[in-house]
Structures are given as C-alpha cells and as structure tokens.
C-alpha cells in the first residue's frame, strides 16, 4: 500500500483548505513508514526474548502446556467452550481423519450482567442448554463429558487444565477472579448445576486457533487472533525458553501464548500514539494496558475513529460542527461501520450517509463529510493492518530456520475476516521485512472458529496417549 501523502484515498475532492490540512495531519500521524515499522519490530523482538527469560515482562510468553501436534488423521467428536470478548460458543467438533472438521455450535451473547458479575454461572447455564437441547447430558451412570475451555484472557497457566487469571481485558470485569484458577471457577459453577462435565484443557484462543490450523495443515507454526482483541501463539523450541522449569516434553517444543496485545504498555515509547489513542486509553477500563491491542483490534478501532470525528467536528471541519448524543457517547461507533465505509463505492457514498445519519444520529452530511469519513476508516484500518505485521515478522524471524520450508499461519477473528484489505495489507507489509525466498514459503489462512475447534482438538490430544 502506498504511504505517500498524495495517496488518492486521502485527497478529499471538494474539501476546503482547512479540511484537507486536517486530513493531511491525520495522514502524517497514521501512515507509518517502513523504517518506523522496522524500529518497532526490533523492539518487539527484544521484548519477546525478555519474556522467554522471566515472568512478569511486557510480553508474557506464557507456556501453554501444549506440547503435541495433531496428525490430521484422528477421528471422533470432541467438545469445547469458547469464551471470546463478545460471544460464548459451545462447540462439538467431529474430526474426519483427513484434516477436516465438522462443527456443530451454538452461540450465546454475553449479557451485561455476565460481563460484570455472573460470568461463570452464565457459562455453566449455556453448557446446560447446549447439552440438553441435543440430548447429550450424561446421566449418573455415564462418564463425564470432557471439554476444552477456550479462555481468551491472560492466564498464568499452571497445568494443561488450570490457570490463574492475571487480569481482565476487552471489557470484561468480573470481580473476585483475578488471582484465581478460572477452571476451578467454571468447574464449581458446573457442579452447582449438577452437570457431569470435566474441563480437561484450558486453552487460550490463540493456542486453539493454532491447533485447529495444525489439524488441517501440519506445517502450522503460528495462530493469531484479530477479533475483539489481538494476540498470538506459536510453537517454540523449549530449549529457547529459559524460564521453563518443568519437564522437557518428548517433542522438544511447546506452544507459547505471547499475550502480544500488551506490547509497549509499560513505557508507551515505540508505538505511534496519537492524541486520539491517548484519549481512548485514558477513558478505557484498563488505562496504560494492552497498548498494541488498542491500535489493532475490533473493540477499539471504531472508538479511535469516533475521537477523530469529534476532533474534526469541534473545529467545524466535519458535519458543519454538529455532533449528536450518540457520537458523544464512548464506544458508540462499532468497527464494522469502518468496514462498511471502506466498501462503499457508490457515487454519493449512500452507505456512509446511512451510517452518519441513522447510526451516528447526525441529521445531515455533505458528500465531503462522507469522503472524510471514508478517509478516516482507511487510515485507522491501514495503521492497524500495518502494525499487525510487526508481531508476525518478529515471531517469524525469531525462528528463521523454519522459513526454509512451507510454514502456515492460522488466523481467526472478525477483523481479519471482514475488514476490507486487512489481510492483503498485512501480507504485503510482512513481505517487506522477510527475504523473498523465505516469504514465498509463508501462507496465511482463516481458521474460522479455530479457537473453539482447537480446544476440542486439545481435549482430544489429552485423551489420546502418544
């Protein structure tokens, strides 16, 4: 993607000089040069190394206790509970023995009450509904059903099926959980409902995404989420993990959950913070945390755009200086509206007009307003995709020996799946930092709902001897 100031996406036809000058200022803040990215990547790599040596660093590099890989030939049905930032999914995954998986799943939206208070009881009730609706609930005579539990929040894993919550992220804030074993909390809630379900694996969503990708494609080395939040996991040689004090696995490798969303949170020194990012951070429920995630993921991009919109409106450079109650409210702009704005190629930008006048509650918009809105969506999205490449490049260059043969990356999350050009800008940016003869070995693909399927696959690996 071009980063030149004359990029046609950022030359607003019909704009006043002041409007264009404001857009030019945004372009300067949001379009990152390759050399900026290179410097940030170098720091990212340093932070990875630091996290491999000791606990409590910015990149936590958490051992997942997953040391095996599926072969792709395994068969049977396995279960998982997938708690994301927005939804809860109950999954029954049936493996066909040829790398293919059929899934049956049921989606529940987290209620505000669940997010603030009753989370584990809510999950247990969803498990009950899922099993009862399908007549799968084990009776007293039957063995309990084992389930993998995908939990996409930072956990200090203490075994394959236990882990202490380090902190909440992505809008969840249930009291009394930080510092406790989340499997115990869920197992107790299941017990309260008398459900014969055993949580056999606690899985980060990135680890799940990697494992589901590995079932379909044995050369998978990395799993990434670009959804409500962002994070990644990869297979690391255990001899590179100085802080690992447990037994050496037979395979010699273990999946590490990087918790990369936290990158640069300690000193805010490397990422390209703009006043719009700082404003978001200050008002978020986790200020000065998850700095990288806040520039990349679905939960935040709409809010960054909202801050930019208000900055322009307050200078009377947008909407004739008008705002609305909706626009004035934090988090009122969903990132999916940015996708919609980029896709709109109609002559009057009628889709964007709808968003402005219906969704944002601003009564009137000019064509120039809509063009500016579209430019904002491009800027915020492109910066996210380019920054995303940093983590990918740093991780791939960490084990360059793997780049001499095919290497696959499984990616899940609505940003990757739906944000226009995200995938293309990401791949193109990665290609600028990895030599061509190695880049050609790299493939990316959508591991749709991989986080849950992977947890079911890990539950399978736990039940299977070597």
The set of catalytic residues is 89, 152, 205
Q: Does 454 bind Mg ion (CB under 5 A)?
A: no
| CB atoms inside a 10 Å sphere around CB 268 | 13
Q: Which two tokens stand for residue 216?
A: 């379909």
Return the range that interacts with Mg ion (CB under 5 A); candidates 323-331, 335-343, 350-358, 445-453: 445-453
Mode of pairing for the β-strands spanning 220-226 and 407-412: parallel
List the single partner that 208 binds among Mg ion, ligand ADP, none, CB under 5 to 8 Å by kind.
Answer: none
Min dist. Cβ of residue 31 to ligand ADP (A): 20
List the single partner that 298 binds among ligand ADP, Mg ion, none, CB under 5 to 8 Å by kind.
Answer: ligand ADP
Mode of pairing for the β-strands spanning 62-63 and 253-257: antiparallel
Residue 135, C-beta contacts closer than 8 angstroms, at least 6 positions apart = none
Q: Among 64, 148, 83, 131, which residue's Cα sits nearest to residue 460?
A: 148
Which residues are 198's β-sheet partners? 146
Min dist. Cβ of residue 161 to ligand ADP (A): 21
Closest CB to ligand ADP among 57 and 276? 276
Residue 29, C-beta contacts closer than 8 angstroms, at least 6 positions apart = 272, 274
Question: Using CA atoms, how far apart are residues 425 and 381, in angstroms rounded to an integer?
Answer: 10
Question: Using CA atoms, how far apart are residues 322 and 174, in angstroms rounded to an integer?
Answer: 37
Question: Using CA atoms, how far apart are residues 149 and 442, in angstroms rounded to an integer?
Answer: 29
Q: Does 227 bind Mg ion (CB under 5 A)?
A: yes
Closest CB to ligand ADP among 221 and 335? 335
Min dist. Cβ of residue 413 to ligand ADP (A): 4
Min dist. Cβ of residue 21 to ligand ADP (A): 29
Q: How many Å separate Cα 426 from the centre of its chain?
A: 14
Closest CB to Mg ion among 51 and 229? 229
For the window 360-389, what string marks contact with Mg ion as x by the rule CB under 5 A? ------------------------------
| CB atoms inside a 10 Å sphere around CB 399 | 16
Closest CB to Mg ion among 307 and 451? 451
- Which residues here bind ligand ADP, judged by CB under 6 A? 84-87, 227-228, 298-299, 334-336, 339, 413-415, 418-419
Closest CB to ligand ADP among 86 and 286? 86
Min dist. Cβ of residue 80 to ligand ADP (A): 13
Closest CB to ligand ADP among 215 and 226? 226
**Whether 86 contacts 110, CB under 8 Å:** yes
List the single partner that 415 binds among Mg ion, ligand ADP, none, CB under 5 to 8 Å by kind.
Answer: ligand ADP
Q: Does 154 bind Mg ion (CB under 5 A)?
A: no
Binding-site residue total for Mg ion (CB under 5 A)? 3
Q: Among 201, 229, 208, which residue's Cα sits nearest to residue 448?
A: 208
List the single partner that 185 binds among Mg ion, ligand ADP, none, CB under 5 to 8 Å by kind.
Answer: none
| CB atoms inside a 10 Å sphere around CB 243 | 12
Min dist. Cβ of residue 228 to ligand ADP (A): 3
Question: Using CA atoms, how far apart are residues 366 and 370, in angstroms rounded to an integer?
Answer: 6
Q: Does 84 bind Mg ion (CB under 5 A)?
A: yes
Q: Interface with Mg ion by CB under 5 A: which residues?
A: 84, 227, 451
């Amino acid at each position: 993607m071009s980063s030149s100031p004359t990029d046609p996406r950022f030359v607003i036809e019909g704009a006043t000089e002041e409007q264009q000058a404001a857009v030019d200022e945004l372009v300067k803040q949001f379009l990152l040069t390759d050399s900026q990215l290179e410097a940030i990547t170098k720091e990212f790599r340093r932070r990875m190394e630091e996290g491999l040596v000791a606990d409590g660093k910015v990149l936590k590099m958490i051992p997942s206790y997953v040391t095996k890989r599926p072969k792709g030939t395994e068969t049977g049905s396995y279960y998982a509970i997938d708690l994301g930032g927005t939804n809860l999914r109950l999954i029954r995954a049936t493996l066909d023995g040829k790398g293919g998986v059929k899934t049956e799943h049921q989606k529940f939206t987290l209620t505000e009450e669940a997010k603030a208070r009753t989370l584990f009881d809510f999950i247990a009730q969803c498990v009950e509904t899922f099993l009862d609706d399908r007549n799968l609930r084990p009776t007293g005579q039957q063995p309990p059903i084992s389930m993998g539990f995908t939990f996409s929040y930072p956990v200090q894993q203490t075994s394959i099926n236990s882990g202490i919550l380090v902190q909440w992220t992505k809008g969840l804030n249930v009291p009394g959980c930080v510092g406790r074993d989340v499997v115990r909390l869920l197992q107790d809630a299941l017990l309260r409902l008398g459900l014969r379900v055993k949580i056999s694996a606690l899985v980060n969503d990135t680890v799940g995404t990697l494992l589901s990708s590995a079932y379909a494609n044995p050369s998978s080395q990395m799993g990434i989420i670009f959804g409500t939040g962002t994070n990644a996991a990869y297979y690391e040689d255990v001899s590179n993990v100085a802080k690992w004090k447990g037994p050496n696995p037979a395979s010699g490798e273990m999946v590490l959950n990087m918790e990369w969303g936290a990158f640069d949170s300690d000193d805010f020194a490397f990422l390209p913070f703009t006043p719009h990012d700082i404003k978001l951070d200050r008002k978020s429920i986790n200020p000065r945390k998850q700095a990288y995630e806040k520039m990349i993921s679905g939960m935040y991009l709409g809010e960054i755009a909202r801050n930019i919109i208000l900055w322009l409106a307050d200078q009377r450079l947008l909407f004739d200086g008008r705002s609305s109650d909706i626009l004035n409210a934090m988090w009122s702009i969903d990132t999916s509206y940015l996708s919609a704005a980029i896709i709109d190629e109609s002559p009057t930008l009628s889709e964007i007009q709808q968003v402005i006048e219906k969704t944002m509650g601003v009564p009137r918009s000019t064509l120039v307003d809509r063009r500016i809105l579209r430019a904002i969506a491009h800027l915020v999205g492109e910066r996210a995709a380019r920054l995303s490449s940093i983590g990918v490049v740093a991780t791939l260059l960490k084990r360059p020996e793997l780049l001499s043969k095919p290497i696959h990356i499984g990616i899940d999350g609505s940003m990757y799946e739906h944000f226009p050009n995200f995938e293309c800008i990401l791949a193109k940016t990665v290609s600028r930092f990895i030599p061509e003869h190695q880049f050609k070995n790299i493939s990316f693909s959508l591991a749709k709902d991989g986080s849950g399927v992977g947890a079911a696959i890990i539950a399978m690996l736990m039940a299977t001897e070597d």
